[in-house]
Chain A
Amino acid sequence: MVKITVDGKVLEVDESKNLLEEILSQGEDLPYFCWHPSMGSVGSCRQCAVIEYANDEDERGRLNMACMTAPREGARYSIEKAAKFRAQAIESIMINHPHDCPVCEEGGECHLQDMTVMSGHNYRRYDGKKKTHTNQYLGPFIGHEMNRCITCYRCVRFYKDYAGGTDFGPQASHDNTYFGRWQEGPLESEFSGNLAEVCPTGVFTDKPFSKHYVRKWDLQTAPSLCAGCSVGCNTNPGERYGTLRRVVNRFNDEVNGYFLCDRGRFGTGYVNSDERITVSMTRSAHDAAPHLASTDEARSQLQAMAANSIGIGSPRASLEANFALRELVGAENFYAGISTNELAMSRQILDIYRSRPVNIANIKDIEASDAVLILGEDVTNTAARLALALRQSVRNLGKKMARDMKFPEWQDAAIRQLTMDRKSPLYILSAHATRLDDIAARVKIGTAANSARLGFAIAHEIDSSAPAVNGLSADEKELVTTIASALKEASQPLIISGTGAMSQALIAAAANIATALNGADKKANLALVSAEANSMGLALLMESSDNSLDQAMASNAKAAIVLENDLYRRAPASSVDSFINGLDQLAVLDSLKTRTGEQANLVLAAGTFAETSGTFVNYEVRAQHYYSVFKPVDTIRSSAFWLSDKKLSELTQGCADSISGGAGIATLTPGEGFSVSGMKVPRQQHRYSGRTAMRANINVHEPKQEQDEEGILTYSMEGVSALKDATVFNTAWAGGWNSNQSVFKFQSHTGAALKQATKGHCLVENSVSEKTWSEVTDAEKVTGDFEVFPLYHLFGSEELTANTEAIKAKATSAYIAINEADASKLGLQASDGVSVEHNGAVPYIIRSSIAPGTVGIPVGLKGLNFRDLPAAISLQKATDWATPSEWHAANIIVSDKTSVNAENGGEA
C-alpha cells in the first residue's frame, strides 16, 4: 500500500494495481473506455487522463493515462486538472458518432453516453461529414452497428485475447478501423454474447433481446442463476409485459466473474415459448380426453395420489422442489430421476470432495492454476464458463515472467508481447479433439477407459503409493511422466474431469491425481463437472439412498409423480414405455411439454427458474439462491408449491436440516425481514415506466401489486432500490453510471468481490490431509463394431435451452462422428446417411481426431437418443435416405472436421 494525493485528498492505494482501478475503488468517478477489470490496460482510448506531478514544487505536472500509471508513494495527482483534455478527447471520439441513441439498443445503459456526460462534452461543434461503415451479419446472437464504434479495442481484446476466438478482429486503419469477421457469418466463439456487455457502445448488441427490446430501466429484474449447466453462473434476467426479455451477467468473483457463455445468455427464450405448459390438466386414464384442472383441484389430486406413489426427482429442479417431493412420498419412495451410473457418479464426486486432500476449484482457482490436466471432459460444451477460465490459466507463465521482470500484471499488451505464444502447460486426455486444443501442450486421444488408465498411471508416477497401472506402452509412459512432472512442478496444479464421459473410472483417476499432488505446502485444485444445474443438489438428497431411475422403473410402482424430468432423455425409450404402461397414475410437473408429460393423467404447470425461487447446487457443491424475476399467470406455480403446503423458506430450512453439512443452505438469502432503509428491495427500478398504462387495455383500474412470498423483494417500484448495497443485487446501476460498468460501485475493491452479496455457500468444507486412493478398475470389454462415446453441444444438448429460437439457430439435429478410414470402410459417400443399429438413420461427419473403431454420438440432439444405445454399436450405410431438415453441419464448430455430408449441411 502506498499513500498518494489526488486533488488534495490523501488516499491509501495498492501499488500493484493501476491508478485508474485504485481511484475508482475509492469511490471517485474517472471516465474510461478501454480498461476492463478482467482484461487489464492498454491505454488506447485516452479517456482516463490525469495530471501527475513530479514533486511538491511541480505546478504544471504532466498528462498521464491513469490506467497505465502505477501509483507511486507520496505522488500527487489531479483528476480535475485533466478535465479539459478528457472533454476534448471525447469530443474527437464523438465526431463521427451517429445520431442513433433513440434507435440504439445501448441507449440508457450506454457507457459512452455516461462518459460523454461525465466528461462534460454536451454540445456538438463539428458540422463536417461523418464517417460511416457497413455492418455484418454475425449470426443469431449478436447485432452489429459499426457506425457507433469508438475504436477502444475492447471487443478484440475480449474475443481474441481473452476468449481465444479466431474469426474476428480489427481491420483497416485510422478512421476506417473496422471490427468484424473476415467475412459475414455467425461468430464462432461460445462467448460471443459478452461482446454486448464488453463493448462500451451499441456496436455489439444482444440480438434476441433487440427483437422484443425495452430499455434497461423498464426491465423487472432479480438476482438469478443460469440453469444451463453445473457452473451456476450468476445472472440478472429481465422481464417486461409478462415475458422474459434477456439475461445479463451478475458479477460473482468466485463463480463467473464478468462473463457468461452463450448458452446461458441466449438460452432462456424457452420461458416464453409455445411449448410451455400454462395450465394444469387432468384425465381419468392415459387415453381419456384431458380437461382443465383448477389450482385447488390439481393440488388435491396430487396429494391424493401421493400416498401410493413413488416420486422421481430431477437434477434440473430446485433443491426445495426435490426435497418437497421426497417429503411427500417418503424417502424410500423417492428416486433420483437419473440413471444408476449417473447417480453413482454424482455421489462419487461428493465423496471425493469430502474425503480427499484437495481444493475444490472455483473459477478464481482455475484462473490461477499454472498447470492443468483435463481428463475426458469436453469443458467448452459441458461447463463452458470454466473453459474461458482455463484460457486464462495458461497465461500464468506470462504473468510469472512479468513478475520476474517487475512489471505489473495489468500491463496486458506488454505481457502478451513478452510471452508471445509461451503458455503454462495444459494437457487434455479426450476421446476427440476439443475447443481447448489450441492452448494445450499435448492432447491425447483415447476412450474414457484409456484416459482413466493413463490418469491412474499419472497419479502413481507422482506418488508411488497410489495404485499402479501395468502394461503402458513406451509412448504412454513418456506422456505420463511429462504430465506428472509438469503437475508436480506447478505451484497450483489443477485437475478437471467430470461426468460428461459417463465414466466412474475417469473421475476416480482424477481424484487420485489430485490426491497424489497433495504435498506439505500445496493442495491440488480439483474441479469435477457435473451434468446439470442441480445435479449436486440431487446427489446431496440421495446420499443415503441408491434409488436411481433404473430402480424406479423396476419398482413395480402403480403410481408415479415425476418432477421436471423427461424420462425419455434419461433412459432407453423401451424401458420408459414399459414403465409408464405399467402405471395406473402418472403425474408430471413441468414447465415445457415433454414426451413423458404427454402420457400423464395429471399435468401440473410448473414455473421456470425465472418465475420461481429456490436453490441450485453447482459443481463445487456451492449452494446458491435464485429469486423469481416475475410472477407468471396464476395457473403456473412453482413445483415446490404443487408438492408442499410449506412456505419456500420452510422447505429451504428443511433442506438445510436434512442434508449433512447443509446448514449454509439456510443462509443464502438475507431473510424475510430484510430491508434497506426500512423498505423492501423493488424488482423495478426507480425509472420503471408505464406502470399506469401497461395493463390499462385490459382494465383501466390498476390491480393490486403482486405479493412476493419470500418477502425480500417486491414486484413493484415500491421500496428502496438497493443502490450501492449488493445484498440482493438485482441490477447494476449507480448515479451517473447507467451501464453495467457501475458494478465497481458495489465491489469491495474494483474487480473484487461484491461488498454484501452472498457468493453462495460451499457445502463441503474440506480439511482432509490424509491420502486415500481409488482402486484402478479394469475397463469392461465392450463388444461391437464401434465403441460409442458421448459428444456434447453447448447449443442443443441441454434440454430446456434447446427450446429457444436463437439456440435452435445454432444447433443441429443428431448425427454421428467417425474417422475417415471407418467412413470409407462403410462405403459412405458425401451425401449418405448412416443407419445406427435399430435406431434409424442420421447424417455423419468425419473428424480426423476420432480413433478408428469409435463413434461419437451427440447427447440430447433431436433424432437419436444416446440412452437408447448400447456401449458399442454397428453402423451401416443407410438406404432410402433423406437429410433431416434440422441438420446443420455448419453449426458444428470443431477444428478437426474434415468433411461433412448432406446437401443442406453446409460447408465443411
Chain B
Amino acid sequence: MLKIFLHQLNIIWSQIVSLWLVFLHLFHKSDTVEYPDVKPHMFPRWRGRIILTRDPDGEERCVACNLCAVACPVDCIALQKTEDEDGRWYPEFFRINFSRCIMCGFCEEACPTHAIQLTPDFEMAEYVRQDMVWEKEHMLIDGTGKYHDYNFYKVAGKAIGGKGKGEALDELPPTDRRSLMP
C-alpha cells in the first residue's frame, strides 16, 4: 500500500518539476530560428548543393575521369568525356540527378582535380522533380570553390594547349630518342 502511495507521489513530483522547468524557459533566450527570414550559419564543410569549379587559370577543372560517378552510391552522376583540339579532357555533358543524390560527398572525395565540391547551400526543393536534374551549365561556377590553388593539368604529364611535354611541375625536358647516352 505504502509502496503504491510513494510511487504516485513520485509521479506528481516529477510533473511539478517538469512544469517548473518549462516555466523557467520563459526567461531563456529563444532557440527557434526564423527561417527563411533568418538564415542559419552554415560551415564550409557542410555537404549541400554540388558545384563544378574552375582551376586558378579559369579553365574547367573537371577532366571527365568518371571517378565521382563510380564512387556515387546512388549512381546519380552521368557524364561523357570529350577533348579539345590540344588534347585536354573535359566533360561533354555532366549531369547530376539531385532527386537521387544523398549528399554523401563521396564524389568530392573521389575527385582527383577538386572539380566537384559540395557547398553549404541546402535549399534545393523543387515543385517538379524533373527540375532536380542538373546539367554542367547549371553547376559550373566561375571560381575555384573551396580549394584555391590546385591545378591538375600543371601536375599531370599529359600535354595540353599551353603546356607541352616536360613543362609540368617537376618535369625534365623531353628526352632525345636519337641519343644513345644513358
Report if A214 contacts B (CB, 8 A). yes
In the complex, are the beta carbons of B157 and A174 less than 8 A apart? no
- The residues of A that contact B82 with a CB separation of less than 8 Å are 212
- The residues of B that contact A241 with a CB separation of less than 8 Å are 80
In the complex, are the beta carbons of A690 and B78 less than 8 A apart? yes
**Which residue of chain B is the closest to A132 with respect to CB atoms?**
B166
Please, what's the 1-or-0 string for A468-486, where 1 marks a CB less than 8 Å from any CB in chain B? 0000000000000000000
Q: Are A213 and B81 also in contact (CB < 8 A) when A133-B177, A176-B177 are?
A: yes
Instruction: Summarize B's interface: helix, strand, loop or mixed.
Output: loop
When the two chains form the complex, which single residue of B74, B81, B172, B178 contacts A214, counting CB atoms closer than 8 Å? B81
Count of interface residues, chain A, beta-carbon cutoff 8 Å: 49
Please, what's the 1-or-0 string for A454-471, where 1 marks a CB less than 8 Å from any CB in chain B? 000000000000000000
- The residues of B that contact A171 with a CB separation of less than 8 Å are 177-178
Report if B118 contacts A (CB, 8 A). no
Report if B116 contacts A (CB, 8 A). no
Give the Cβ gap from A214 to chain B, nearest Cβ, in Å.
Answer: 7
Report if A100 contacts B (CB, 8 A). yes
- The residues of A that contact B159 with a CB separation of less than 8 Å are 135
A171 to B174, CA, bound (A): 14
A128 to B152, CA, bound (A): 18
When the two chains form the complex, which single residue of B100, B130, B157 contacts A693, counting CB atoms closer than 8 Å? B100
When the two chains form the complex, which single residue of B80, B132, B175 contacts A178, counting CB atoms closer than 8 Å? B175
In the complex, are the beta carbons of B171 and A103 less than 8 A apart? no
Interface segment out of the listed A589-597, A601-609, A694-702: A694-702
Instruction: Tell which of B78, B95, B157 has the most Cβ of chain A within 10 Å.
Output: B157
Q: Are A172 and B179 also in contact (CB < 8 A) when A214-B81, A693-B95, A694-B78 are?
A: yes
Report if B45 contacts A (CB, 8 A). no
A689 to B97, CA, bound (A): 13
- The residues of B that contact A687 with a CB separation of less than 8 Å are 70
Please, what's the 1-or-0 string for A186-215, where 1 marks a CB less than 8 Å from any CB in chain B? 000000000000000000000000001111
Report if A147 contacts B (CB, 8 A). yes
Give the Cβ gap from B97 to chain A, nearest Cβ, in Å.
Answer: 4
A145 to B69, CA, bound (A): 25
A131 to B168, CA, bound (A): 11
Q: Are A128 and B177 also in contact (CB < 8 A) when A689-B70, A690-B75, A691-B75 are?
A: no
- The residues of B that contact A838 with a CB separation of less than 8 Å are none
Taking CB atoms and an 8 Å cut-off, the chain A residues in 661-702 that contact chain B are 687-694, 696-697, 699-701
Interface segment out of the listed B16-24, B50-58, B60-68: B60-68
Q: Are A693 and B70 also in contact (CB < 8 A) when A101-B112, A145-B158 are?
A: no
In the complex, are the beta carbons of B65 and A690 less than 8 A apart? no
Please, what's the 1-or-0 string for B89-120, where 1 marks a CB less than 8 Å from any CB in chain A? 10000011101100000000000110000000
**Which residue of chain B is the closest to A213 with respect to CB atoms?**
B81
When the two chains form the complex, which single residue of B70, B78, B132 contacts A217, counting CB atoms closer than 8 Å? B70
A132 to B171, CA, bound (A): 7
A687 to B67, CA, bound (A): 11
A274 to B166, CA, bound (A): 40
A588 to B113, CA, bound (A): 52
Report if B140 contacts A (CB, 8 A). no
A175 to B177, CA, bound (A): 10
Give the Cβ gap from B108 to chain A, nearest Cβ, in Å.
Answer: 15
Instruction: Summarize A's interface: helix, strand, loop or mixed.
Output: loop
Report if B133 contacts A (CB, 8 A). yes
Report if B79 contacts A (CB, 8 A). yes
**Which residue of chain B is the closest to A128 with respect to CB atoms?**
B170
Q: Are A99 and B97 also in contact (CB < 8 A) when A173-B180, A215-B66 are?
A: no
Instruction: Tell which of A212, A214, A241, A690 has the most Cβ of chain B within 10 Å.
Output: A690
- The residues of B that contact A176 with a CB separation of less than 8 Å are 175-177, 179, 181-182
A373 to B166, CA, bound (A): 52
In the complex, are the beta carbons of A99 and B80 less than 8 A apart? no
Report if A56 contacts B (CB, 8 A). no
A696 to B132, CA, bound (A): 9
In the complex, are the beta carbons of A107 and B172 less than 8 A apart? no
Q: Are A693 and B178 also in contact (CB < 8 A) when A99-B157, A132-B157 are?
A: no
When the two chains form the complex, which single residue of B75, B77, B165 contacts A133, counting CB atoms closer than 8 Å? B165
Give the Cβ gap from A820 to chain B, nearest Cβ, in Å.
Answer: 36
Give the Cβ gap from B2 to chain A, nearest Cβ, in Å.
Answer: 65
List 6 A-B pairs, minimum CB-CB distance, nearest first: A98-B157, A690-B78, A102-B65, A174-B182, A693-B78, A689-B69
Q: Chain B: residues with CB nearer than 8 A to chain A?
A: 63, 65-67, 69-70, 72, 74-82, 89, 95-97, 99-100, 112-113, 129-130, 132-133, 135, 152, 155-159, 165-166, 168, 170-182
A-B contact pairs, 6 of them (CB 8 A): A98-B158, A103-B65, A148-B157, A172-B180, A690-B79, A692-B74
Q: Chain A: residues with CB nearer than 8 A to chain B?
A: 98-104, 107-108, 127-135, 145, 147-148, 171-176, 178, 180, 212-215, 217-218, 241, 687-694, 696-697, 699-701
Other than A175-B175, A701-B129, give 9 A-B pairs with Cβ distance below 8 A: A101-B112, A132-B157, A175-B182, A212-B81, A215-B66, A218-B69, A696-B78, A696-B97, A697-B133
